Amino acid sequence: MSKYLLLVLSIVYATTMTAQNIGLNYYSTGAGSNITATFSKNFNHSEFGIGLGFNIGSIKQPDDQDNIYYKRLYPTKPIHYINFNVYYDYYFFDKWNCIKPLLFYDLQIKYSTTRTSMYIIHDYDSTLTGDNPDEKLLYRNFIEYFGPYLWVENSIGIGFKVDITDRIYLKQKIGLGIHLLFGEDTSLPGSNPEWEFYGLVNICLGIKIKSP
């Protein structure tokens, strides 16, 4: 895994040498959340960017649906915190000066375990009164870790870019995507790779370091 990390760092370093923009991004994807620094270059009506970020592991879960993967990425080793990002933006309307609507494709790759808090039927209390048998079920909370998995997240959607000053801009994107999880955990049934749909939200505060 270290050789792939070295390759990613080399690509990011090479990209920063010709970058025209630097952005600090907050992402919410199917895996969870991350903070990613991106470096991008403009050409014609397009912008191509590459980035390296930090996956955020949260003990608090956004739902109680016993999901195994969705919003469950939870790093347990240093390499699990790394998020690699590539994106392409197409500005399809350039008549306005300060705001530019766009279409985008976003690719994120990360390698991490998952953490799931779930309630599972543990016992049956026959001493309780009542005719409903479900009211006599006793549940126990389990914390389970699965993986690690290689997460490949592909997203498309729409957004806009707003110039705050001549150098500083704000970009926001929303979209839909599908993530693939490569890897197996013998304690879980299922196919390889696993896949799920998700929604994406991206907010970026950027600085123009070079003129297009």
C-alpha to C-alpha distances, 185 to 26, 181, 182, nearest whole angstrom: 30, 11, 10
- The domain limits of the chain are 2-112+148-208
**Other residues' Cβ atoms within 10 Å of the Cβ of residue 36:** 22
Q: For position 178, what pLDDT does the model report?
A: 95
C-alpha to C-alpha distances, 113 to 12, 76, 141, 158, 194, nearest whole angstrom: 24, 7, 19, 30, 14
Report the CATH number of the 2-112+148-208 domain. Answer: 2.40.160.20
* pLDDT tens for each residue of the chain, 212 residues long: 555 556 555 655 555 556 789 999 999 999 999 999 999 999 889 999 999 999 999 888 888 777 889 999 999 999 999 999 999 999 998 777 789 999 999 999 999 999 987 766 655 655 666 566 555 566 666 788 888 999 999 999 999 999 999 899 999 999 999 999 998 776 666 666 789 999 999 999 999 986 65
Location of structure tokens 């991008």: 40
Chain-centre distance of CA 40, in angstroms? 19
Q: CA 140 to CA 114: how far, in whole Å?
A: 20
